[in-house]
Amino acid sequence: MSFDDRFDFLYKMILVGDSGVGKTNILTRYCKDEFNLENRSTIGAEFATKISDIDQKKIKIQLWDTAGQERYRSITVPFYRGAVGALVVYDVTKRSTFENVKRWLKDVKEHADENVVAIIVGNKIDLAQARIVSTEEGKELAERQGVAFIETSALSATNIEEAFRSVVGDILLRTP
C-alpha cells in the first residue's frame, strides 16, 4: 500500500433520492471533480472512493450510487447494508422530489446501519430562476426529521465538499 492510500476510517456512504435529482453528478463532482450535462452519466460503476482529510483524520469514503435502481423504487437491501452515512437528495426545482424525501429517509433508517447519519441535500441551486422549493422549507423538513440540511450545486461545485464534511463530522462524533 502506498503512502497516499493510508486512511484511519473507511465509511460506506450512499446517495438516495428520486431519479434525476443529481446523485450521479454529486458523486462524480465529489470523487473526481467532474460534471456531466448528459442525462445518464456513463460511469457504470456502482461506487467510487475518495480519501479526505476531515477533523485531522484520513477518511476513506466509499460512495454508492443507485445505478438507476431508484427509478422504480427498487433499491435492493444490499445497497443500504452497512451504510453509515446517507445523502438524501432532492432537486430544488422539482417539488415532487422534495415530497419524496421523507420516504427515502424512512428507507435509509430501515435498511442502513442503525447509527446512520443522514443529511437532506437540496441540489441544483444554480438554477435560481427555476427554484420551487425554498431554503426555509428544506430547513424545516430537516429539523422535523432530526437530520442536517444543506443546499448544493453539483454543476458549480457549491457545498458538495461541505455536505460530506458535515456527515463525516457527525459520524466521527459518534465514534468512540
Contact between 13 and 64 under an 8 Å Cβ cutoff? The reply is yes
Buried b (16+ CB within 10 A) or exposed e, 125-152: bbeeeebebeeeebeebbeebebbbbbb
Task: Please identify, using beta-carbon distances, which residue of 150 and 154 lies nearer to ligand GDP.
Answer: 154
Kindly state the smallest distance separating residue 69's Cβ from ligand GDP, in Å: 11
Kindly state the smallest distance separating residue 74's Cβ from ligand GDP, in Å: 14
* Chain positions contacting ligand GDP, by CB under 6 A: 19-25, 36-37, 39-41, 123-124, 126-127, 153-155
Buried b (16+ CB within 10 A) or exposed e, 89-101: bbbbbbeebbebb
- How far apart are alpha carbons 62 and 88 in whole angstroms? 16
CA triplet 146, 151, 153: central angle to 5 degrees?
Answer: 150
Kindly state the smallest distance separating residue 94's Cβ from ligand GDP, in Å: 10
Kindly state the smallest distance separating residue 115's Cβ from ligand GDP, in Å: 25
- How far apart are alpha carbons 15 and 127 in whole angstroms? 21
Q: Which amino acid is at 53?
A: D
Kindly state the smallest distance separating residue 83's Cβ from ligand GDP, in Å: 17
- How far apart are alpha carbons 27 and 77 in whole angstroms? 20
